[in-house]
Structure formats: C-alpha cells, structure tokens
Amino acid sequence: MIYSLKNSKSFKITNGFLIINNSYLKIKYRKGKYALDVLKFFGSISLIALFLDKLKDYENIIGVYENAKFWFFALASVSLIYLFFEFIFRKKWINTLEINDLLKVEIGHNKREENIDEDSKIEITFYTNNGKQKSIELKKQHNQLNQFLEILQKRNTRIKIEQL
C-alpha cells in the first residue's frame, strides 16, 4: 500500500515504512525491531563472556564434552566478532539514505514463494558510493516493487538495478 505524503511517497516494508522524497530514502522501523537488536547484542556479549570464562580455565578442561563446549564457544565468539565488525564497517546504520549516493540496487526474489500473501517479501539491498550497504524487505502485496523502482529511477538515473 502506498501512502502519499507532501511531495513524497511511502511504501510498506515488512517491519515499517520506506519513505521517498526528492532527495532522500527514509526507513522508519517499528519499535519492536530495535528491542530485538538489543537482545541480539546482549546475547552475543554473554556468549563471548562465557567463552572468555572457559578460556581462563582451559587447563582444567577434561573430557570430550567439555572440549567440544569450549570449541563451540570459541567458534561462536569468533563468528560473532566477525559479524560485529562487518556490521560496523559494511552495513549502513543510518536509516536515511541520500538518493544521489546510491550506486546500485539489488533485488532478491524468493523463488520458493508462489502465492503472494501478506507475509511475502522481496529483499532489496542498496549500495552507496562509500561501499556500504543497507537491506530492507519490501512487501510483495499491491505490486509496490515496480512503482518503487520507477520513482527511484526518476530521482537518480545513474542507479544500476540488478535482479537476482
């Protein structure tokens, strides 16, 4: 469903709205998304803390089960640290993107979904000039994708659109 605001258009995404005006894309998320992100962050910190606690007592680890737990926490901690740094340096944190900074838009369709219902979605990834990216999930309902791409290309004709 498209909502028209003063000189801007709004599209429904899975967890909020995407608002486009002449120069900016603004993503407004529901409040629950931020609570989930905070829970993920503290869960990751607690998992890394468990690993560091096991690392202090590494000499006393006896048995296959204790050793497997240690290496599980080690792999999980390393992967979480990698994801944290990828999030910091590759993902775009700010929910406002300048349309002139966009270089490329990738559209990923879920080919397994044949029936369109209220939960169907299309993943859209925006790539900016500085190499960062921002991903959203646009709802498939009401044929929003074509209108969204048309409006986006009117505002920046240099954007390269790729469908995966």
Task: Classify residue 8: in a domain, yes or no.
Answer: no
Q: What is the mean pLDDT of the chain?
A: 79
Q: Taking residues 111-125, what's their average pLDDT? A: 66
1 has pLDDT over 50: no
On whether residue 26 sits in a domain, the answer given is no
| Cβ atoms < 10 Å from Cβ of 123 | 15
The range of the structural domain enclosing residue 73 comes to: 34-89
For 146-162, write each residue's pLDDT tens digit.
888 888 888 888 889 88
User: Does residue 70 form part of some domain?
Assistant: yes
Pairwise CA distance, residues 27 & 96, whole Å: 6
Query: Are residues 10 and 3 in contact, defined by beta-carbon separation less than 8 angstroms?
Result: yes
Residue 71 lies in a domain: yes
pLDDT band for position 25 (50/70/90)? confident
pLDDT in tens, 70-97: 888 888 888 888 877 777 666 656 788 8
Q: Is residue 7 part of a domain?
A: no
Query: What number is the average pLDDT over the span 128-132?
Result: 85
